[in-house]
Amino acid sequence: MKALKKLRDGYIIWHANSFKIPTFPASTQIRKRIIFSGKVQKVGFRLEVFHLAERLNLTGWVKNLEDGSVEGEFQGDASKIEFLVACMKSLKRASVRNVTALELPIYEGEKDFSVIK
C-alpha cells in the first residue's frame, strides 16, 4: 500500500507543478475560508492544494472535514486565491460540486501553508 501511496503522491505533486502560473496583476491582500464539497477526500486534494498554494506564495492551511468536504484558509493576493480555486475545480480525479467562501480578517505574521491532519 505504501508503494501505491508514494506513486499517487508523486503524480499529485507532478500535477500541481504542471499548472502554468500566469503573471498576476497587483491585487488586494485578503484572507478567505473556503469549503470545497463533492468528491474531494481520498483523491489527493489537500496535497494538491498545498503544493499549488506554495507555488502561489499563499499562506494558510487546509484540512478534511468529517462531512467529506475540505476546508482551507488562504491568505494572499485575491487573484492568486481565485486561480487556486479555479485549478481545484478543474481537477479530473476530484469532483468539486460546491465552493463556499467567506472573507476573513488578515492574519498578521503567518509565514507558510500547511496541511492539518
From the list 57, 64, 93, 98, the catalytic residue is: 64
**Sign of torsion, CA 84 89 91 96?**
positive
Cβ-in-10-Å burial (0-12, 13-18, 19+) of 104 comes to middle
64 is catalytic: yes
From the list 31, 33, 46, 55, the catalytic residue is: 46
Element (H, E) at 64: strand 59-64
Supply the residues annotated as catalytic. Answer: 46, 64
